[in-house]
Amino acid sequence: MSVFASKEIEYLRNQPLGRLATVDGAGEPHVVPVSFRHNAVLDTIDVGGHSLSRCKKFRDMARNGRAALVVDDVPPPWRTRGVEVCGRAEALAEDGQQGNANLDSGQLRIAQRKS
């Protein structure tokens, strides 16, 4: 059983971008837009990208293992909706290409805390 509701999974699959928040060694927040996917096998959110393993967000997650991702939008008539994913995070050195050779081999993985 997933930690995400079926409507949340459906919503996540249909959104192109999220905002990833990490914290650096000095405790300063860092928020960036990222592409992502729901990993149905592990029930996690996986983030990939170009040059990912050389980015600040990758170093932040590798150092402290925490992150949050917000995926949201505002469909008419101004009805906000979204999903927040926060919990244990991993910076992984491999499998980030997910079928796209143009992406970095590194990836970020966030496991949602259970309510």
Distances (CA, A) of 79 to 28, 30, 73, 95: 31, 27, 8, 36
Overall domain count for the chain:
1
Assigned domain for 68 exists: yes
Q: Which pTM does this prediction carry? A: 0.85
Tens of pLDDT, residues 28-79: 999 999 989 899 999 999 987 777 888 899 899 999 999 999 999 999 999 9
pLDDT at 101 over 80: no
pLDDT at 69: 97
33: nearest Cα among 75, 71, 74: 71
Contact (CB, 8 A) for 36 and 71:
yes
Inside any domain, residue 100: yes
Give the structural domain span for 85.
Answer: 6-112
- Residue 1 inside a domain? The answer is no
CATH number for 83: 2.30.110.10
Predicted confidence (pLDDT) per residue in 8-32, tens digit:
999 999 999 999 999 999 999 999 9
